[in-house]
């Protein structure tokens, strides 16, 4: 194993143990981009997530993190979250999702990163933020806080700025299947005995998850159902 690969693997293990960082992309691998200025993103909007356990509604607020909220609107409108599994659900911590079941869609989004922003709202229960592997790596992966997690506001010196919060259906989020736990700190996770590897989800999609983690809950659809504009 090369030195770079070994460091990368170690960073993924630390991320799994301490935070909600995504193992892909890593710092330096992103193409920083701005949201299409022709897309008129509302000041706030509600997204309804229909899931295998029921529905929950999320209110996105540009006053919290305008860059992140613009990206959220863009990704939801693209249908990217449809079919996504909640691949990492850690009891009393977070529920993480945002790797598509189609590897081709993951390839299209994985290096499309957005600029960092300050934390303006704490990672309270129900708050939603992007997972990331370091500065400048926010892309499409999200997590929902299952309890107040103030340590995520400043973790690693950059923190995880929330972009939205669950406004109804938090009991649905609480009920998401959490029996698989964290991913193994090595390649080749044991099916059903530990959580799946993010790298493998990226390259194999839902086919990989269905083989070894069939009880994972998932997003059926994510749609903007209400908007507020100035």
Q: What is the CATH number of the domain that holds 130?
A: 2.40.100.10
Residue-averaged pLDDT of the chain: 85
Tell me the three state secondary structure of residue 222. strand
According to the model, what pLDDT value does residue 92 have? Answer: 94
According to the model, what pLDDT value does residue 2 have? Answer: 41
Q: Are 202 and 33 in contact, with CB atoms under 8 Å apart?
A: no
- Supply the pTM of this predicted model: 0.86
Q: What is the largest CA-CA distance in the chain?
A: 54
According to the model, what pLDDT value does residue 184 have? Answer: 57
Handedness of CA 30, 129, 199, 158 (dihedral sign): positive
Give the 3-state secondary structure percentages of the chain, helix then strand then coil, rounded to 5: 25, 25, 50
According to the model, what pLDDT value does residue 202 have? Answer: 93
Question: Number of folded domains in the chain?
Answer: 1
> Token pair 């959490």 is at which residue?
178
What distance in Å separates the CA atoms of residue 9 and residue 12, rounded to the nearest whole number?
5
What distance in Å separates the CA atoms of residue 230 and residue 117, rounded to the nearest whole number?
23
Q: Which residues of the chain have pLDDT under 70?
A: 1-39, 184-193
Handedness of CA 143, 148, 153, 154 (dihedral sign): negative
What distance in Å separates the CA atoms of residue 177 and residue 88, rounded to the nearest whole number?
9
Locate 18 and state its tokens.
């301490």
According to the model, what pLDDT value does residue 181 have? Answer: 80
Strand intervals (E) in 152-218: 162-168
Domain range for 165 = 3-228
Query: What phi and psi values does residue 68 have, to the nearest 5 degrees?
Result: -65, -40
Residue 25 preceded by cis peptide, ω within 30: yes
- Residue 30: CB atoms within 10 Å: 21
According to the model, what pLDDT value does residue 24 have? Answer: 45
């Amino acid at each position: 194993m090369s030195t770079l690969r070994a460091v990368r693997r170690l960073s993924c293990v630390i991320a799994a143990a301490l935070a909600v960082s995504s193992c892909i992309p890593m710092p330096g691998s992103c193409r920083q981009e701005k949201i299409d200025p022709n897309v008129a993103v509302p000041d706030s909007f509600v997204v309804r997530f229909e899931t295998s356990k029921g529905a929950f509604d999320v209110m996105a607020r540009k006053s919290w993190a305008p860059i992140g909220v613009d990206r959220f609107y863009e990704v939801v409108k693209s249908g990217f979250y449809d079919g996504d599994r909640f691949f990492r659900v850690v009891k009393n911590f977070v529920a993480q999702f945002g790797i598509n079941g189609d590897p081709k869609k993951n390839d299209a989004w994985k290096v499309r990163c957005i600029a960092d922003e300050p934390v303006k709202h704490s990672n309270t229960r129900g708050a939603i933020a992007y997972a990331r592997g370091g500065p400048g790596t926010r892309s499409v992966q999200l997590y929902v806080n299952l309890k107040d997690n103030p340590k995520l506001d400043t973790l690693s010196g950059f923190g995880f700025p929330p972009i939205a919060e669950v406004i109804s259906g938090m009991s649905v989020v609480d009920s998401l299947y959490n029996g698989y736990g964290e991913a193994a700190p090595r390649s080749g996770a044991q099916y059903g005995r530990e959580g799946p590897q993010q790298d493998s989800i990226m390259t194999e999609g839902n086919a990989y998850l269905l083989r070894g983690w069939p009880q994972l809950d998932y997003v059926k659809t994510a749609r903007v159902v209400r908007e507020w504009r100035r």
